[in-house]
Structure 1
């Protein structure tokens, strides 16, 4: 069979199953402190496929840069082949000699390898329990429950605290925050009363097409070796995939 015929056959098979490769989803964000100062920028590129008319992410690359700089100071790669809610994660912050790896050695375990800013290496094996969400999987959780959130319903899930090696109970619920101006606004907060005193809710805003436009809360970028930045990140969409982001 010639290469051209192989390609044609592959396209026909993809069309028959309702699956095709989608255009790259690209967006960028500007993180600002409470006083309005720009802390850093984020640059996202998500490769995926269209399945039954909806975009499914496969590989997501993020580069973090200082304002007006072309070179990154940190980077993250997420691979969603396992699940849109549970990506493999490879995150690096060289300025603090920190790295974080999240993988899945089997279907029931989340493996975390963390090199801390102090030079210590910590490893955790976390049993998968309930509706487990890892890292940016929360973004896909919102889209999977788009209609329910629009109707005012909430969604409970368990979120990985990678540097603690534990899954914590959280709830995703409709919100109305004065600093957000979005078509859909939601908050992520702990279900534990104790954690509610220790962890502020994360506020998210989405446009009508299901793209994240606002993130308000604790980020994964370090201010120093002990604390991470709190920021309001506003996102601009450069290109959408060829199919819908939401059901």
Structure 2
């Protein structure tokens, strides 16, 4: 995230915002379980350079034999540090595709908070790394995807993806307070060895020429294995890291990730 938000920068940075606020925590259930996985982010041009590690904990439950997330916590660590340099929390109480979330990177004193209001509006409060405060009230509908909701959107679209169909959706750019048209489809990429390789790219006439696509890898079970593109983690005051993140499951769920 950066306060120099051209529309194209905001679009791709929004996708990078790939865990629950105390006031938004999902209700506990006897059927809840924990899905744990890690993501190791390597320099996009040098797989030997580890930039940071993400540690994910997703609490959810099996509903009709399919995994449903409730809350999600992410902590970001550098290889030589014991304390997290950034955190993200998400709540899927209102929607698995449009979660409420908070992302905080303390070293830049930057915070993004998005609250889902009855799944009709996303209230956005952004404190930039320059100390500015910006707010937006963004109406949404069922076609809109926000933040890590894209991962659930991929799994919900699994039958269409496996049929090699193009899936249209809109993605939230929180630093602009707007959402934009995107497409999700199968692709191939020499950097990703996965059962299914996907591309997310803007479908607008102008933005599709200005924004690099995000490349995703998924296992046959529906778990994310790879993310290649711009991340939500700042490299410095002016730009974010571009990385290849490789994900590995630590604790699996007891039911199917896909419908």
TM-score (norm 1): 0.90
Matched, 1:177 2:189: yes
For 1:178 and 1:46, the matched residues in 2 are separated by 30
Q: Which runs of 5+ in 2 are unaligned?
A: 1-28
Matched, 1:31 2:41: yes
Q: CA deviation at 1:70?
A: 2.6
| Preserved CA contact (<8 Å) 1:20 1:50 | no
The partner residue of 1:114 within 99, 107, 126 is 126
> Structure with the greater relative contact order (CA < 8 A, sep ≥ 6): 1 or 2?
2
Moved more, 67-76 or 233-242: 67-76
2:72 matched to which residue of 1?
60
1:140 matched to which residue of 2?
152
2:219 matched to which residue of 1?
207
Q: CA deviation at 1:151?
A: 1.2
| Preserved CA contact (<8 Å) 1:20 1:51 | no
2:233 matched to which residue of 1?
221
Greater Rg, structure 1 or structure 2? 1
Q: Deviations over 1:122-159 (max 9, x none)?
A: 00111114501000000001100112101101111110
For 1:144 and 1:104, the matched residues in 2 are separated by 20
Q: CA deviation at 1:106?
A: 4.0
2:22 matched to which residue of 1?
none
For 2:114 and 2:194, the matched residues in 1 are separated by 31
For 2:37 and 2:147, the matched residues in 1 are separated by 18
Secondary structure of the 1:29 match is strand
| Preserved CA contact (<8 Å) 2:171 2:180 | yes
Q: CA deviation at 1:107?
A: 3.7
For 2:198 and 2:243, the matched residues in 1 are separated by 16
Q: Deviations over 1:79-118 (max 9, x none)?
A: 0011110100011000111000000234421111000000
Q: CA deviation at 1:195?
A: 1.1
2:208 matched to which residue of 1?
196
Say how many residue pairs are matched: 229
Q: CA deviation at 1:20?
A: 6.1
For 1:229 and 1:27, the matched residues in 2 are separated by 21
Q: CA deviation at 1:227?
A: 1.0
TM-score (norm 2): 0.86
